[in-house]
Structure 1
Amino acid sequence: MCGIAGIFAYLDVAPPVDRAELARMNTRMAPRGPDGSGDWFSPDGRVGFTHRRLAIIDLSERGAQPMHSADGTLTITFNGEIYNYRELRAELERKGHTFRTETDTEVLLQLYADRGSSMVEALRGMFAFGLWDSKRHSLLLARDPLGIKPLYYADDGWTLRFASQAKALLAGGVVSRDPDPAGIVGFHLFGNVPEPFTVWQSIRSVPAGSTLTIDAAGPDIPAPYYRVANALDRRASTKCDPSEAQARLGAAVHESVRYHLVADVPVAVFLSAGLDSSALLGTMAELGLRDISAVTLSFAEFRGTPNDETPLAAEVAARYGARHIVRTVDRAEFERDLPALLDAMDLPTIDGINTWFVSKAAHEAGIKVALSGLGADECFGGYPSFRELPRAVRLLRPFRYAPGLGQAVRWMLSHGMGSRLGLHPKAAGLIQYGGSWAGAYLLRRGVFMPWELDAILDPDLVEEGLRRLVVFDRIDGELNADHPLGDFDRVAALETSLYMRNQLLRDSDWAGMAHSIEIRVPYVDPFFLAALPPGDVLEATGAKSAIADIPRPPLPDALRQRPKTGFATPVGHWLREAAAPAAAVSFSAASRDWLRHVWQVGWTGPVLA
């Protein structure tokens, strides 16, 4: 796991790479790679790569980056881990390729030499990389299928810059900071910035599951090689008898965890009192891992309440022989950390605080790699949306055939009648939006609704942002597949492609890497997704609760019976106090703005699921 950046002056009239600019980008990413730093510049000075290393596989200097092919024609700067690199290496060796290191990075170079850009389809892991091909005089940018690792770029028409962090691009001192209405409006709608937008007009995200090629003519259009809806469609066509579902589910979890343990350093686990992370710990122990460290957050405010993760987490840790690390966080520490937290937050979000503190605890314990249960709810139907969205669409679809009715009801309820009736503000949009999948999803996951934005943002910015976002088309686009998806798979596609990708995974990256922690997510793996039973079988067999029986011995009954609370923190209470006008706390202007926003939208535990 690392931080990467690069500059390609692709037009002949563009100035050569500014080494000082690249150095500033590298410095901004220092926490991502405390184990080493490297630079490379092409002989003509028109390409430059930089790299910050967090050494996980092949800890020797042979794993240093940027790395070159044996003949010097290929150069790569790579962030991530390729879990099936040993199988890919063996395949390449059978074809006559020879290797100088034990790294997954060198496998990427040789695989590209063998297959070109299509090599990304063979990779099992999380990755973002820039690869320079001197023979073709082209740069390839690539990002993993589900978007675990970020990759941002800025193109001014002369020169393309890329980096693991948007703020690293800004740190170079050349990329414009002009705000992007689409990203700002998207944040207020969803609580995160939907890709490919950022909050800066000049910076874009390479879409998850895409490659981007840049040559002397400039950047091409991003080329997708993976889509969640298509993967779920292919899985739906497979046959799986319900009686076989548990065995197939168990085999998929065991295989994914086994791959995610590939490392030359110890692998820990972030342990809550939930089924998902507990099943990971149990599976790690069953696979023969010893001396496992399990990290749990504790909050004094939760002691003796259902939100207290510690007692059950301790029982699970003892059951599987893990070293249990309990880290207590209080409001004073939150207030001290907030400026650093916001500085590390690459794009605005209303989540990520829990990951910040559990990563901090892991770093203090000398941990470099930890598994997380993130992604299980999207796979197994653990969110209320799996029940609520199909029901809303079925019940409210008939109102779509009454032109103007939904808009009229929304206007009346949002102009006073709704508050007099004691209705939730989103209720105003039920008739207008609730009968479509995109509308129902926006109501379920939205923070502010489109009709509310003019009251909190400049109306011209709102108009431009909504025009460019094309919100409902964007949501609907995540459902496009060769065949219509079933209800379970529709919700899975939306939650995976939107909420998980734009919020949970992005927050895990910035919050984890701020503490030099590599967070691995075995439930977020296209190979794992394909190995699961079809969505309708998962739903019928109650896969979310069935994961309790995957480890041997199975999870304790107390854990099974615990109501789902999410990985909650008392941040909501802290924020309301800290953001109050009378709060005797000194924060920067940026901190106060962020506090005001999350206080205004109402920070709740489920947001931190």
Structure 2
Amino acid sequence: MCGIAGWLDRERDLTRETETVRRMADTLARRGPDDSGVWTAPRIGLGHRRLAVTDPEHGRQPMTATGPDDGRDTAVVSFSGEIHNHRELRAELRARGHRFRTASDTEVILAAHREWGAEAITRFAGMFAYALWDIGTQTLHLGRDPLGIKPLYYAEHATGVVFGSEPKALFASGLVRPEVDAEGLVDVFTVAAKRPGDAVYRTIRQVLPGHILRFDHNGTTSHRYWQLVTAPHEDDQETTVATVRSLLDRIVAEQTVADVPLGALLSGGIDSSAITAIGASAMAAEGLGTLATYSVDFAGGEDDFTADALHVSRDAPFVRAVVDHVGTKHQEVLVEPASLLSESGIALRARDYPGVGDLDVSLYLLFREVRRHLTVALSGEGADDAFGGYPWFASEAERPSGGFPWSAGVKDRNAVLSPQLRPHLDLHERLESRYREALGEVPHLDGESGVDRRMREVYYLQHTRFLPFLLDRKDRMSMANGLEVRVPYCDHRLVEYVWNVPWRLKRLGGREKGLLRAAVEDALPAEVVHRPKSGFPVGQSPEYLESVRTAVSDMIEDPGSPAMELLDADTLRAMVRNQDWVNGTFTPPPILPRALQLNEWLTAYDVQVVL
């Protein structure tokens, strides 16, 4: 896991822009604290910040490939992420005559490109984003993993394109300004409704998940190499359960391979607990020692905890049950509630745009502590999306909401908007348009109707709208600490299989994630197998809530607050007075800490609003 940046230009001599490319890459230093490198040629500059995970000694980047006959460079790559099946690919490529200088997965990408061309990306299993320059054809390839686990942003300009792992790298080129239009503001004021490829900023795009972009003398082309394929599910219940377990065993075993310390994030829920149990078993089988696990809670959380729609129970008792059952080396990370506000700016700069307030900050603080001990951590992210873990899955099966399920029931989205902004931005209208657009993409099964048809839609929305929101948050908060977080449930092989499993099997026993529970029940304590879904901890300390109220009140009264040109002061004042302004859901009450981030973003990034 690293940070990549680069610049392609059809007119400028980029050998004279080495320092610009280096400056772009250095904005990503937190993603790659171990090493840095720059490679330039007349038309291309590639920069890299390295987090050394695989072959730390020899895997420096940008990495070049040389021709077998004359020893000249034929390609160069800057790569972020992990190719989890690189060992198998290396063996296959060796059998085809390729020689390797390193044990890194980066070199496998270069060899695979030489062997299979741009189609090599279809053979990679993992999380990745890379920029590969083919010297012979003078072609730039920007590739991204199937589900978009690793980010890759780009902005085209008159004579070329700049790109990087985060928007800040593009801003450092001097060719891109932080501007946001009405569509970008929709992404700021709502959660998980971003259209694939959008990036909040007006002139910046993301390489789509499962796509590869090519830039050459003919222009720009986009190729989709992976997508969810709809087909009848032929396996019976027993085979389905066994297949899910077999896939998890294989994927987790691949992802426990690292040349640096590795552990797991453990919440005591079925998702992370299953990864912990399978990962511990895989490490023991390879003689890799005891798996280290980490959980998070808030200081005073036992006294302050109040159950809500997404948080039905505290994690601690279930974490302890898994630790005792599996036998991990465990540490609990306690977050001081006051730090949720004081560290908010760091979380903002990790994202480069406003996120979800204290939900971001608490995750950042967990990752910061874990990074003191580990370089790589396994996570249960993505299980709810694949297996149907959120409350809205069952709700949609019973009574479809007619919109994005996670934001159903929001009565007046526009209430928070300032009077001068409302004529330019109707959030209800924009979200309805985006929802219809998303439904038009769903690959339905011929003859599918009723609940099965609706649930196919819900799972598609989940994978293409909500999961990217989660993966974006996970990537920014982890990589801001130089921590690589791996997500086995987002492996495309598992997602492909579960996609076609009908709702009745996913909900075995009438339980959310019933299929997953059945697949791993032999590996975990019964109380964990049957624990209902409970979300990531949120700050509920009265002192923290009061500090947010005070900060928002100060922002409202400050005539220099740029956010107040976009926000309605009376609505915010009402939220400040309301004791229930934070409720653990994705509905308006959590807007207060997000409003503070919005204000800081507009100021710190000098964002220009273009309406």
Query: Does TM, scored on the shorter chain, surpass 0.5?
Result: yes
Aligned ranges 1:272-421 → 2 under 5 Å: 272-289=267-284, 290-303=289-302, 305=305, 307-350=313-356, 351-364=359-372, 366-393=373-400
Greater shift, 97-106 or 543-552, is seen at 543-552
* Partner in structure 2 of residue 472 of structure 1: 435
Measure how far apart 1:605 and its partner are: 2.5
- Residue in structure 2 matched with residue 422 of structure 1 by the alignment: none
Structure 2 counterpart of 1:440? 403
Match of 1:66 among 36, 45, 62: 62
The 3-state SS of whatever aligns with 2:395 is helix
**Corresponding residue number in structure 2 for 1:558:** 527
**Corresponding position of 1:401:** none
Map 1:163-202 to 2 at 5 A.
163-190=164-191, 193-202=194-203
> Structure 1 residues 602 and 595, CA, compared in 2 at 3 Å: closer, same or farther?
farther
Closer, same or farther: CA 478–370 of 1 in aligned 2, 3 Å: farther
Q: Distance in 1 between matches of 2:27 and 2:202?
A: 20
Q: Could you tell me which residue of structure 2 aligns to residue 30 of structure 1?
A: 29
- Alignment partners' CA distance in 1, 2:216 and 2:355: 34
2:38 equivalent in structure 1: 39
Task: For residue 168 of structure 1, report the CA deviation from its aligned partner.
Answer: 1.7
Shift of 1:538: 2.8
Which SS does the other structure have where 2:488 is aligned? coil
Q: Equivalent residue of 1:287, what SS?
A: helix
Deviation by residue 1:277-318 (Cα, 9 ceiling, x = unmatched): 011111112224332111111213421656432232122112
AA at the equivalent of 1:555: L
Shift of 1:16: 6.5
Measured against aligned partners, the alpha-carbon deviations of 1:421-468 in whole angstroms (never above 9, x if no partner) come to: xxxxxxxxxxxxx4xxxx332673686866657656724542699679
What residue number does 1:7 align with? 7
Distance 1:468 1:607 in 2: 15
Residue in structure 2 matching 1:54, options 51, 56, 59: 51
The one-letter amino acid paired with 2:584 is G
C-alpha change, 1:463 and 1:589, in structure 2 (3 Å) is closer
Partner of 1:223: 223
With over 3 angstroms needed to count, the CA separation of the structure-2 counterparts of 1:451 and 1:355, relative to structure 1, is closer
Residue 490 of structure 1 aligns with an amino acid whose one-letter code is E
CA contact (8 A) 1:190 1:445 kept: no
Task: Decide whether the 8 Å contact of 1:291 with 1:323 is kept in 2.
Answer: yes
| Match of residue 456, structure 2, among 484, 489, 512 | 489
Contact 1:193–1:348, Cα closer than 8 Å, also in 2:
no
Where 2:235 maps in the other structure, the secondary structure is coil
Paired AA for residue 508 in structure 1? K
Kept after mapping to 2: 8 A contact 1:295/1:326: yes
- Say which SS state the counterpart of residue 55 (structure 2) adopts: coil
Task: Give TM-score, length-normalised by structure 1.
Answer: 0.83
Label 1:581 to 1:177 Cα distance change in 2 as closer, same or farther (>3 A): same
What is the Cα deviation at residue 559 of structure 1? Answer: 2.2
CA RMSD of aligned residues (A): 3.3
Give, as a single letter, the amino acid of the residue that structure 1 aligns with 2:90.
R
For 1:297, the aligned partner's letter is V
Q: Deviations over 1:492-518 (max 9, x none)?
A: 1111111011x1000000000001110
* Distance (Å, rounded) in 2 between the aligned partners of 1:356 and 1:146: 22
The one-letter amino acid of 1:525's match is: D
User: Which residue of 2 is the match for residue 522 of structure 1?
Assistant: 488
Secondary structure of the 2:66 match is coil
Residue-by-residue CA offset, 1:374-416 (whole Å, 9 max, x unaligned): 11111111112222223333xxxxxxxxxxxxxxxxxxxxxxx
The reply on whether 1:580 has 2:549 as its aligned counterpart is yes
Shift in Å at residue 35 of structure 1? 1.0
Q: Which residue is 2:239 aligned to?
A: 244
SS of 2:205 mapped into structure 1: strand
- Say if 1:196 and 1:207, in contact at 8 Å, map to a contact too: yes
Aligned 8 A contact 1:296 1:326 in 2: yes
Change (3 A) 1:575 1:346: farther
Aligned 8 A contact 2:33 2:50 in 1: yes
Residues 248 and 572 of structure 1: is their aligned pair in 2 closer, same or farther, counting only changes over 3 Å? Answer: farther
Native 8 Å contact 1:380 1:538 kept in 2:
no
Q: Deviations over 1:324-343 (max 9, x none)?
A: 11111112222331221211
How far has the Cα of 1:272 moved from its partner?
Answer: 0.3
Matched residue type, 2:394: R
Corresponding residue for residue 147 of structure 1: 148
Equivalent residue number for residue 20 of structure 1? 19
Q: Give the number of aligned pairs.
A: 552
CA deviations over 1:568-596 (Å, ceiling 9, x no partner): 22168676423324779999968999999
Contact 1:65 1:77 in 2 (8 A): yes
Q: Distance in 1 between matches of 2:262 and 2:281?
A: 14
Q: C-alpha separation between the residues in 1 aligned to 2:181 and 2:16?
A: 26
Q: Does the 8 Å contact 1:193/1:349 carry over to 2? A: no
Whole-Å separation in 1 of the counterparts to 2:585 and 2:242: 31
Tell me the secondary structure at the aligned position of residue 254 of structure 1: helix
Q: Give the gaps of 5 or more residues in structure 2.
A: 68-72, 306-311, 588-611
* CA positional deviation for 1:192: 6.3
**Alignment partners' CA distance in 1, 2:554 and 2:238:** 58
